[in-house]
């Protein structure tokens, strides 16, 4: 390959190793008992991935694991691992990681999907809401990365996927704490990619628009371009296959929000107020 071709590939090629063959790939999904995490687990099970699933609700988690085993093609030689945990419990994280390594000997992909959302206007802000949201969405995810990163670095391979949100692109009404927590995750994913790509570790950032989940059921407004969890899972799998750093969807909605960030704030604020009616 010529030097010029190498430069073009670095500028326009995928930022991560494309993930297309899932057969036997060892995937740990944290936050897999409902919504996007559950749908992604089922999508990867159908493609033959080996799965470890974590969430706080053990009964629901075991039901999802059973569904994944039923969806996996061919005879199930090794069942899906159910590892109930709270992402904010660092000791539980370490135990789950060690149990996975005892079963698999390594990890190929960890998806951090666990999170919480409470719609709040600025005047409804409380210390409890701040701590609950940041502890899970930001501190919990960062702690999870810290728990698994030594394993990936020792392997010299593997991938991390962090589920952010388009709410992290810019200030939006009712995302008073949720939005900043996801904005910080976007920044964190960018820093991880800068540091880890040269060491053979891929980093994916997943920024969904509105997806019909138990969390978005709290919204009392019309959610534009609302998708099902199954649609979200397929978009994520397609993004993995392209090796994209940021997997955002649906494009007809996310591109509008990205465009808004180019506007001066004297235009951004009235447009957002008018669009949301808030």
Active site residues: 178
Report the distance separating Cα 6 and Cα 10, nearest Å. 6
CA separation for the pair 46, 102 (Å, rounded):
24
Tally Cβ neighbours within 10 Å of residue 35: 23
The tokens for 71 are 């969806």
d(CA 151, CA 98): 10
Pick from 268, 258, 246: nearest CA to 186: 246
Please give the Cα distance from 12 to 209 (Å, whole number). 25
């Amino acid at each position: 390959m010529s030097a010029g071709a190498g430069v073009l590939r670095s500028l326009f090629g995928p930022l991560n190793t494309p993930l297309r063959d899932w057969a036997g790939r060892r995937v740990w999904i944290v936050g897999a008992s409902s919504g996007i995490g559950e749908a992604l687990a089922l999508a990867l099970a159908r493609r033959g991935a080996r799965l470890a699933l974590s969430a706080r609700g053990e009964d629901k988690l075991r039901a999802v694991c059973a569904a994944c085993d039923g969806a996996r093609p061919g005879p199930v030689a090794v069942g899906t691992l159910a590892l109930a945990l709270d992402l904010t419990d660092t000791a539980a994280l370490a135990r789950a990681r060690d149990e996975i390594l005892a079963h698999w000997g390594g990890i190929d992909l960890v998806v951090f999907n666990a999170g919480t959302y409470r719609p709040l206007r600025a005047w409804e802000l409380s210390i409890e809401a701040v701590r609950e949201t940041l502890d899970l969405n930001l501190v919990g995810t960062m702690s999870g990365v810290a728990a698994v990163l030594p394993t990936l670095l020792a392997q010299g391979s593997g991938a991390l996927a962090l589920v952010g949100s388009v709410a992290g692109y810019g200030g939006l009404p009712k995302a008073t704490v949720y939005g900043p927590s996801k904005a910080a995750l976007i920044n964190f994913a960018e820093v991880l990619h800068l540091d880890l790509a040269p060491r053979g570790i891929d980093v994916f950032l997943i920024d969904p628009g509105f997806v019909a989940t138990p969390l978005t059921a709290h919204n009392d407004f019309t959610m534009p371009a609302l998708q099902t969890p199954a649609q979200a899972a397929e978009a994520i799998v397609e993004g993995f296959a392209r090796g994209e750093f940021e997997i955002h969807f649906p494009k007809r909605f996310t591109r509008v929000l990205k465009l808004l960030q180019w506007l001066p704030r004297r235009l951004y604020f009235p447009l957002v107020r008018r669009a949301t009616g808030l």
